Structure 1
Amino acid sequence: MSVSKTLGLWAALLAASGLLAYGLASAHFPAALLLGPMLAAIAFGVRGAPLRVPKPGFQGAQALIGCLVAHAINPEIAGTILDDGFLILLVVLVTVLAGGIVGYVLTRMRVLPGTTAAWGSSPGRAAAMVAMAEEYGSDPRLVAFMQYVRVAAVVLSASVVARLLTEPVAASSAGTMPAQALAPISVLTTLCVAVIGAGIALALRLPAGALIGPMILGAGLHATGLASIVLPPVLLDAAYATIGWYVGLRFTRETLRETFHALPGILVATVAVILLCAGWAFGLTRILPIDFLTAFLATSPGGLDSVAIIAVGSKADVSFVLAVQTLRLFVVLITGPLLAKWVARAAPPDTPEAG
């Protein structure tokens, strides 16, 4: 495709994203600048637009979101983990188990092969699940499609729940850092934290390293007063949009065609996982002194970056949400292979992945 046509498609996507984001922001939806671009990108991807967000661009956006989260984190997150560690671990295990149950049912009903159903239903980071699924012999295309359908559905459902449970706020203040003088030295320091944190975490091959590295480094510096973590709104807006485009453009016409026969099962599985986690979130409000929005975001089986954006932009307890989501990410990476084998054993004897 010619450069001019590619630039024209990006311009059209940018315009459509802006219109949708403006409409959602006017309706007081949290993370409108994430949700609008994601919906626009899904439409463009399904219609065959050959657009992709380069991986470095996506990682850069994650690093900026990590800095945004770091600004919201305070020493309370450590206290949250220490005080409610057992319950947080229980929340994580129940969420992982919900994904395993859905994968088991899909396998028994012959909707999907065993390990593919397991990896596709696993509530971990989509890119990590796809990579591990391919390593263990599953169809990476189907796993990727399941994962990104779930991420999109979680963003939509979490945004709706947050909108219903949060008092309307000014569109410009949702999910942004408090208004303050953006001193050039503070902005430069924050960008250094993003680059250094992401670089170290990616070199160590940490899961979601581009997000977690700046989040941990920035939180430590910000909470101790050693550095002020601030970012201009234009950079945060660009990060939101980039993540939305990255997820949305994964939904291509080719992927839909290849997975069309499994689409009903994938949609049912996605809704089932979200509903199971929502039910567990309701139960948490009876056990812990937390509100339903906090519990819902903590148990949501979506991407850490997307959930973090929604949590920061609403009245949720960011410390609790991030503690649960971060711990779950590591638990899923550890238990994923075991869960995949367990689900594969549920396959009927005449299927390729049985046993």
Structure 2
Amino acid sequence: MPRRPISPQLLARQALALLIGYASARVALWLYLPLPWMLGPMFGCTVAALAGAPISGPNQLRMIVIPIIGVLLGSAITLPVLLSMPGWWPAFLVLAPFLLAALAGSYVVFRRLGGFDRSTAFFSAMPGGLNDAMLLGAAAGGDERRIALAHATRILVVVFLIPLFFSLVYGATGSAGGGNPARNVALSALSLSDWAILTAAAALGYWGGKKLDLPAYAVMGPMIVSGAAHVAGIVHVAPPTQLVNLAQLVIGVVIGCRFLGTTFREVSREMAVAGASAAVMIVIALAFAVPVAAIMQMPATQAFLAFSPGGLAEMSLLALSMGEDLAFVSVMHLTRIALVVAMARPIWRWVARRGEKDGA
């Protein structure tokens, strides 16, 4: 069935959102904020959405630029990285217990503090998998709008607070340009063959990931193809920094526009509950990350990013901005999303059965 063309009115609202996002990014650059090309648009469009501005998220554009992040993550996978992956076993070993702890802690917040019903609280508390949480939650009788708002708030809070946490606690800052200066890649640095290979990695990875129904397929598919190309030595460069910044801009705008149709007065309490849930997840992530960092003899900031409950693209971009090991952080988050999606159904069935026994 052919898609309906986008109306001029919708295009105008999306253009305004992108304009607000760009202006917010310039302000964030001027203020030397970490990850300015994503945090600036995210904050600016969140304020605009809650204020009732006539904007709309460029979701179609997001699906076009998000494979750029996958190709970027794949560029960090080299043969030495592959050979070092068996040494990551301590982090992989505690990932499932961390997810269970984060889910349980967040669930208690939504049930006790927020007063959410059982299914809405459970799928709002999932530490990842926004689309899957909405679909599974709606099928289980949960409030889809509340679930979406909870996950949008989680990502907003995690992505906004973690750079501030790094700055205050660890004294770490991202570059003003939104990425590690050592990894900045100019447009002129790519040859025609580089452009062709990276473009093919994005297109083939996106198509293959969707066909195989991979979790976060728009990122994971291009990452796998790009990683294979870089390990094989077919290509040696990452996507240009300008394109990465564009992808960050679009991602930030889309996150902010998820609050459309609401006002701060209407959702302030639910956002506060979701923010408390995100804070609980961050504390639990820190509790797991510190011993893992000690065992693996890596910086605590790197382990913390790997366990932080944000989105895959967002947390990987934070790793890039903070100069941490991009391959380790992105692989950990891919594994997290896959585990969350795989664990959600059986754990929910157990929770539902317990609820029936308790007469709930």
Q: Which residue of 1 aligns with 2:336?
A: 328
Aligned 8 A contact 1:88 1:324 in 2: yes
Show structure 2 runs of 5+ residues with no match: 1-5
Residues 9-67 of structure 1, C-alpha deviation per residue, up to 9 Å, x if partnerless? 55543443233323333444332101111111111211223533354322222201101
> How has the CA–CA distance of structure 1 residues 5 and 225 changed in structure 2, closer, same or farther, with 3 Å as cutoff?
closer
| Residues 197-212 of structure 1 mapped to structure 2, 5 A cutoff | 197-212=205-220
Q: Would the aligned equivalents of 1:92 and 1:299 in 2 still touch at CA under 8 Å?
A: no
The residue aligned with 2:278 is 270
Q: Aligned partner of 2:259: which letter?
A: F
Per-residue deviation, residues 184-242 of structure 1 (Å, max 9, x unmatched): 33123211211111011011111110100000100110122113444333322221111
| Residue of structure 2 equivalent to 1:29 | 33
The one-character-per-residue Cα deviations of 1:84-125 (angstroms, maximum 9, x if unpaired) are 324323134313422223203532556211121111111112
Change (3 A) 1:93 1:76: farther
Measured after TM superposition, the shift of residue 344 of structure 1 is 4.5
Q: Residues 172, 297 of structure 1: CA spacing in aligned structure 2 closer, same or farther, 3 A cutoff?
A: closer
Give the 3-state SS of the residue equivalent to 1:171 in structure 2.
coil
Q: Distance in 2 between matches of 1:80 and 1:258?
A: 49
Contact 1:114 1:340 in 2 (8 A): no
Matched, 1:307 2:319: no
The match for 2:249 is 241
1:124-180 Cα shifts (integer Å, max 9, x gaps):
121222122223322111111101100111111222234454356452654754446
Change (3 A) 1:244 1:98: same
| Shift of residue 346, structure 1, vs aligned partner | 6.5
Match of residue 202 from structure 2:
194
Q: Partners of 1:249 and 1:22 in 2: how far apart?
A: 19
Shift in alpha-carbon separation, 1:115–1:75, aligned structure 2, 3 A: farther
Task: Give runs of aligned pairs for residues 60-71 of structure 1, distance below 5 A.
Answer: 60-71=64-75
49, 63, 71: which is aligned to 2:53? 49
- Gap regions ≥5 residues in structure 1: none
Question: Is 2:123 aligned against 1:119?
Answer: yes
Distance of 2:53 and 2:282 partners within structure 1? 29
Contact 1:128 1:207 in 2 (8 A): no
CA contact (8 A) 1:65 1:211 kept: yes
How has the CA–CA distance of structure 1 residues 34 and 105 changed in structure 2, closer, same or farther, with 3 Å as cutoff? closer
- Is the contact between residue 155 and residue 302 of structure 1 (CA under 8 Å) also seen in structure 2? yes
Residue 13 in 1 paired to residue 17 in 2? yes
Shift of 1:82: 1.4
261 and 24 in structure 1: CA distance in 2 versus 1, 3 angstrom threshold:
closer
Q: Taking structure 1 as reference, are residues 43 and 287 closer, same or farther at Cα in structure 2, changes over 3 Å only?
A: same
Post-superposition offset of 1:325:
1.0
Q: Take 2:297 and 2:30, find their aligned partners in 1: how far apart are those partners? A: 32
- Contact 2:35–2:179 (8 Å) recurs in 1: no
Q: What is aligned with 1:58?
A: 62
Q: What secondary structure does 1:123 align onto?
A: coil
Q: Distance in 2 between matches of 1:94 and 1:240?
A: 28
- Partners of 1:103 and 1:75 lie apart in 2 by 40
Given that 2:157 and 2:275 are in contact with CA atoms closer than 8 Å, whether structure 1 keeps it comes out as no
* Matching residue's letter, 1:213: G
Taking structure 1 as reference, are residues 153 and 110 closer, same or farther at Cα in structure 2, changes over 3 Å only? closer
Task: Figure out how many residues of one structure are paired with residues of the other and give that number.
Answer: 351
Q: Shift of residue 257 of structure 1?
A: 6.7
1:171 aligns with 2:188: no
Residues 215-254 of structure 1 aligned to structure 2 (within 5 Å): 215-254=223-262
Q: Which sits farther off after the overlay, 283-292 or 14-23?
A: 14-23
Q: CA deviation at 1:312?
A: 1.5
Provide the rounded CA distance (Å) in 2 between the counterparts of 1:332 and 1:188: 35
Residues of 2 paired with 1:5 and 1:64: CA distance?
25
Q: TM-score, normalised by structure 1?
A: 0.87
Q: Contact 1:67–1:218 (CA<8 Å) still a contact in 2?
A: yes
Residue identity over aligned pairs, in percent, reads 25
Aligned-partner residue type, residue 195 of structure 2:
V
**Matches of 2:75 and 2:252, distance apart in 1:** 21
TM-score (norm 2): 0.86
